[in-house]
Structure 1
Amino acid sequence: MASIVIVDDHPTTRDGLMTRIELEADLQVCGEADDVDEALNLIRSRHPDLAVIDVSLKTGNGIELIKAVKAENLKTRMLVWSMYEDSLYAERALRAGAMGYINKVNATDVIVDAIRTVLKGDVYLSPEMSAKVLHRVVHGKDMLRKSPAEALSDRELQTFELIGRGVKTVDIAAAMHLSPKTIETYRSRIKEKLELDDMAALAREAVQWVIENS
């Protein structure tokens, strides 16, 4: 029986996913977590076969969790599920070490297939995202620059998202386990990369991005 950990900051979402998974005779949920540190400790201690990970967590970011798991050479395979469009985070998740990405909007019908695919050692993407990835491979990396967010590093994108959610600099720093000075540096880099005039323009852009992609 394959063991699975669910990492999501919404208890009702975790409950719903656990109920769906445990309808399958060969799958069982062995733990739940809502933030990066708790999830990493859970994966270290229970060695699940697979972790289903959301991008937005109570503290930290799912992409950072994936990188931490890979950095420690833990054997757990990882499948990301998120409310964000595939085009925003799927490639980042794969580059970080995940083996699949699924949008929560479509998860009910395909989540078990996605889990089984990743457990077999194969990559799972939606047909639409698979086509986009192949198109970018054929036409080169310049095709990646479709969204302003694609210009940002993972940490910068996490900062950008939290700015868009109205989180203050000191609270962003606490959530990311960084100093406020580092967050201010990220703010400046984001403003430059997105070619925005000032911090007010950055805040407006971030809010709009969150509205469009949440």
Structure 2
Amino acid sequence: MTFETISPPVTNPVSVRKVLIVDDHPAFRYGMVRLLKQLGGFEVSGEAGDGMTALEIFRRTKPDIVLMDISLPGCDGVELTKMMLSEEPGLTVLVVSMYDESNYALRALRAGAKGYLRKDESITELGTALQRISSHGLYVSQRFSDRLVFKAIHSGEDLGDSYLRMLSDRELEVFRAIGQGLGTREIAERLCLSIKTIETHRAHIKRKLRAEDSNEVVKLARDLQNLKESA
């Protein structure tokens, strides 16, 4: 996302909405704080770089909006969205992610998020998304909207989708990491989970995908990774 200076959109000066920024990159959080100040009508109530810290700040500050990343240490953004909404059903979540996949957008929306943007979307689009979801609407960028419509029409036709539908959100994180060539210990460190937990997830993935052994799981994960990169 480009952090350029822009003219602030028209906002309601009476209603200032508290925003919690959840992202594991400090530079991105810093940029988001600057952008929200430029947009006007928003007040940053806190920042967090991992799931546990985000939950603590969320419970303490009671934000109106959460800007949520997908990939976080300890708890991915989709699961974190579910947890927060279970405690505060009126919360508004906008997922801002590096992942250019409609599968992630679908999972986020199904978890209760009100919008999904990539991090490289223009700041103008971020402002539009915040205004829309602040008015109790939904917002997905045009390129994701087109893909979601196509997916709704042709659901289940693609190899990657058939795999992803079988896996839980956490299993998907592990499966994606396997496809990127990470071992069990590396995945555990990335997700801030125990090695035993990752091994359990790998066993569930193997069973759900009906793979003969761990080597076949790795092959399937790498095939899917290559499929996404070439799409």
For the criterion TM > 0.5, the same-fold answer is: yes
Closer/same/farther in 2, CA of residues 159 and 109 from structure 1, 3 Å limit: same
Instruction: Report what 1:92 is aligned to.
Output: 107
TM-score (norm 1): 0.83
What CA RMSD, in Å, does the superposition of the two structures yield over aligned residues?
A: 2.8
Q: In 2, are the aligned partners of 1:169 and 1:184 still within 8 Å (CA)?
A: no
Instruction: Report what 1:75 is aligned to.
Output: 90
Q: State the shift of 1:136 in Å.
A: 4.1
Instruction: Report what 2:3 is aligned to.
Output: none
Instruction: Report what 1:24 is aligned to.
Output: 39
Q: In 2, are the aligned partners of 1:54 and 1:80 still within 8 Å (CA)?
A: yes
Higher mean displacement: 8-17 or 187-196: 187-196
Secondary structure in structure 1 of the residue aligned to 2:140: coil
Instruction: Report what 1:122 is aligned to.
Output: 137
1:110 equivalent to 2:110? Answer no
Closer/same/farther in 2, CA of residues 38 and 115 from structure 1, 3 Å limit: same
CA deviation map 1:88-135 (0-9, x unaligned): 300100111111100112243411111111111111111232233334
Closer/same/farther in 2, CA of residues 204 and 57 from structure 1, 3 Å limit: same
CA deviation map 1:114-162 (0-9, x unaligned): 111111111111123223333444x374357643333311121122234
1:63 to 58, 78, 83: 78
Q: In 2, are the aligned partners of 1:86 and 1:103 still within 8 Å (CA)?
A: no
CA deviation map 1:19-65 (0-9, x unaligned): 11111221221210011111111111111110000001132211111
Q: In 2, are the aligned partners of 1:63 and 1:93 still within 8 Å (CA)?
A: yes
1:160 equivalent to 2:175? Answer yes
Closer/same/farther in 2, CA of residues 174 and 15 from structure 1, 3 Å limit: closer
Instruction: Report what 1:142 is aligned to.
Output: 156
1:172 equivalent to 2:201? Answer no
Instruction: Report what 1:53 is aligned to.
Output: 68
Secondary structure in structure 2 of the residue aligned to 1:69: helix
Q: In 2, are the aligned partners of 1:4 and 1:27 still within 8 Å (CA)?
A: yes
Instruction: Report what 1:14 is aligned to.
Output: 29
Quick one: distance in 2 between partners of 1:57 and 1:107? 23
Q: State the shift of 1:187 in Å.
A: 1.1
CA deviation map 1:161-213 (0-9, x unaligned): 34345252596289465671x53332133234445443234235445656756
One-letter amino acid of the structure 2 residue matched with residue 116 of structure 1: Q
TM-score (norm 2): 0.78
Q: State the shift of 1:16 in Å.
A: 1.0
One-letter amino acid of the structure 2 residue matched with residue 172 of structure 1: A
Q: What 5-or-longer segments of structure 1 have no aligned partner?
A: none
Report % sequence identity: 32
Q: What 5-or-longer segments of structure 2 have no aligned partner?
A: 1-15
Q: In 2, are the aligned partners of 1:10 and 1:34 still within 8 Å (CA)?
A: yes
Quick one: distance in 2 between partners of 1:144 and 1:115? 32
Q: In 1, are the aligned partners of 2:184 and 2:198 still within 8 Å (CA)?
A: no
Quick one: distance in 2 between partners of 1:75 and 1:35? 22
Quick one: distance in 2 between partners of 1:144 and 1:98? 25
Flag the structure with larger Rg.
2
Instruction: Report what 2:214 is aligned to.
Output: 199
| Structure ranking higher in helix proportion | 1
Q: In 2, are the aligned partners of 1:47 and 1:75 still within 8 Å (CA)?
A: no
Closer/same/farther in 2, CA of residues 145 and 206 from structure 1, 3 Å limit: closer
Q: In 2, are the aligned partners of 1:162 and 1:172 still within 8 Å (CA)?
A: no
